[in-house]
């Protein structure tokens, strides 16, 4: 069933807005209602009568620039998915925007219907997870006093547990005899022994995320509140704590979604580019060799055209598995386009990288893929470039890898080519 998706495009280029309209007409999965504005001020006015499901945002507008634009839009549409529209020369700002709350970004020159549809869909899915996480965090903190929590009464002079409620005992998986009389650091605040925020640091109260150690040695994340109060004329520490394991699982899933390609399970383009940037800085600082292999599946369009996208997805997943089996744990393997992949090989010079690339080429050439009851033969073209810390930066290194790949495809495909700095 086709859904109606409302899009707000905040873009001062009328030409690109028209291009977006054309792209939306070619997107088959959903129907799109589009509202286009050119400034943050106009976006604020549109918010009065238009409730978008997602926002396509150019950060450089007549009345706002850079990350300030994102912050203004987050204030206007705090619970909406935002996809940043980026040009190649401001991708770093796009990365920063994602760190500040955008769900994804699109490079304008590389936008096509499939890429845009995927970006809109994934950004909405990630935004739903983020909003659920924010609601969960708010609920935990607002209802802390009313939710049944583990409670400890602690003697402040020696931090021995005076009393514990049944919830605390259940969370510790321990009996009253094991808990009462033991020091609280046996179960809570394991890294704060001798550094209690109340008795040692003089705080009136403290709220923090800690780890709880159960009697069987297993650890669980908790949200803990501690304060010193007077009970029956004696000063005591009252510690209350909630299990936030599910919240942490949601945070981890959100982190995984933000760096992983959904189809193949390897690094997505954003994570690959971020790691590539770190690796080039490390290589320049220490002078260690590092190489890049760009991979493109030859004539992959024929698979999609003849057998359908489901078959194409099956081939890409299997191809990713085969390549991963040939790589080291320290290598970074990412999907950077539809059927385009890149590999970073730390501590690897050009000759060794060529040998790896040739091994990958043979592995794929010798494999028969099965999809939709058909046997499919695939080959790959590979471009190799070693990073030169004296003359290269990230852009020049990636560009040489692309040029080497273009040479491999131009010379007949199913081959490996390299370009030196």
* String of DSSP letters for 226-238: EEEEEETTEEEEE
Q: What average pLDDT score do residues 6-27 get?
A: 82
Q: What average pLDDT score do residues 220-239 get?
A: 84
Check residue 2 and give its pLDDT.
64
Q: What counts of helices (H) and strands (E) characterise the chain?
A: 13, 17
Q: How many CB atoms lie within 10 A of CB 276?
A: 22
For the whole model, what pTM was predicted?
0.48
Check residue 402 and give its pLDDT.
93
Check residue 1 and give its pLDDT.
56
Task: Please report which confidence band the pLDDT of residue 421 belongs to, taking 50, 70 and 90 as the band edges.
Answer: low
- The CATH T-level fold of domain 150-247 is Beta-Lactamase (3.30.450)
Q: Where in the chain is the domain with CATH 3.40.50.2300?
A: 4-140
pLDDT in tens, 86-145: 876 677 887 788 888 888 888 887 777 777 778 788 888 787 877 777 776 566 435 433
Element (H, E) at 396: helix 394-410
**Rounded Cα gap, residues 385 and 397, in angstroms:** 7
- The CATH T-level fold of domain 4-140 is Rossmann fold (3.40.50)
**pLDDT value at 412 more than 80:** yes
Check residue 253 and give its pLDDT.
72
**CATH class of the domain whose range is 260-418:** alpha beta
Q: What average pLDDT score do residues 239-264 get?
A: 81
Residues 6+ apart with CB under 8 A from 233: none
Task: Please report which confidence band the pLDDT of residue 146 belongs to, taking 50, 70 and 90 as the band edges.
Answer: very low
**pLDDT value at 187 more than 90:** no
Check residue 156 and give its pLDDT.
87
Check residue 28 and give its pLDDT.
61
How confident is the prediction for the chain on average, in pLDDT? 85
Check residue 309 and give its pLDDT.
84
**Rounded Cα gap, residues 34 and 6, in angstroms:** 6
Q: Where in the chain is the domain with CATH 3.30.450.20?
A: 150-247
Check residue 140 and give its pLDDT.
40
Check residue 254 and give its pLDDT.
72
Check residue 291 and give its pLDDT.
95
Check residue 144 and give its pLDDT.
35
Q: Where in the chain is the domain with CATH 3.30.70.270?
A: 260-418
Check residue 193 and give its pLDDT.
59
Check residue 143 and give its pLDDT.
42
Q: How many CB atoms lie within 10 A of CB 1?
A: 3
| 83: phi then psi, degrees, rounded to nearest 5 | -110, 120
pLDDT in tens, 384-403: 999 998 888 899 999 999 99
**Rounded Cα gap, residues 281 and 394, in angstroms:** 9
Contact 31, 5 (CB under 8 A): yes
Q: What average pLDDT score do residues 290-298 get?
A: 95
Q: What is the CA radius of gyration of the chain?
A: 27
Quick one: 84 exposed, middle or buried, by C-beta within 10 A (0-12, 13-18, 19+)? buried
């Amino acid at each position: 069933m086709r859904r109606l998706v409302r899009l707000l495009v905040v873009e001062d280029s009328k030409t690109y807005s028209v291009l977006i309209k054309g792209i939306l007409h070619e997107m088959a999965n959903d129907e799109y209602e589009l509202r286009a504005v050119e400034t943050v001020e106009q976006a604020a006015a549109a918010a009065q009568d238009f409730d978008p499901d997602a926002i396509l945002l150019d950060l450089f507008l007549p009345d706002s620039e850079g990350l300030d634009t994102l912050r203004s839009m987050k204030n206007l549409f705090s619970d909406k998915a935002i996809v940043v529209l980026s040009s190649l020369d401001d991708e770093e700002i796009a990365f920063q925007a994602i760190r500040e709350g955008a769900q994804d970004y699109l490079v304008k020159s590389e936008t096509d219907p499939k890429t845009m549809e995927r970006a809109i869909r994934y950004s909405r899915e990630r935004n739903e997870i983020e909003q659920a996480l924010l609601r969960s965090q708010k609920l935990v903190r607002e209802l802390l006093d009313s939710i049944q929590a583990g409670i400890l009464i602690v003697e402040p002079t020696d931090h021995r547990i005076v009393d514990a409620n049944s919830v605390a005992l259940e969370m510790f998986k321990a009996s009253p005899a094991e808990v009462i009389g033991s020091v609280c650091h046996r179960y809570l605040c394991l890294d704060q022994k001798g550094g209690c925020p109340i008795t040692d640091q003089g705080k009136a109260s403290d709220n923090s995320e800690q780890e709880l150690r159960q009697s069987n040695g297993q650890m669980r994340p908790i949200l803990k509140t501690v304060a010193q109060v007077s009970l029956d004329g004696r000063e005591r520490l009252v510690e209350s704590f909630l299990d936030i394991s599910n919240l942490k699982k949601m945070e981890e899933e959100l982190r995984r979604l933000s760096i992983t390609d959904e189809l193949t399970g390897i690094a997505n383009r954003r994570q690959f580019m971020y790691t590539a940037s770190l690796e080039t800085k490390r290589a320049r600082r220490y002078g260690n060799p590092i190489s890049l292999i760009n991979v493109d599946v030859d004539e992959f369009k024929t698979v999609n055209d003849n057998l359908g996208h489901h078959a194409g997805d099956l081939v890409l997943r299997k191809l990713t598995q085969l390549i991963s089996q040939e790589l080291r744990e320290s290598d970074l393997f990412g999907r950077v386009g539809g059927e385009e992949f890149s590999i970073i090989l730390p501590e690897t010079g050009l000759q060794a990288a060529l040998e790896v690339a040739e091994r990958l080429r043979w592995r794929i050439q010798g494999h028969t893929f099965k999809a939709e009851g058909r046997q499919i033969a695939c080959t790959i073209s590979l471009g190799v470039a070693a990073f030169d810390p004296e003359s290269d930066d990230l852009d020049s290194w990636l560009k040489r890898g692309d040029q080497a790949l273009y040479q491999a495809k131009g010379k007949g495909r199913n081959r490996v080519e390299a370009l030196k700095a």
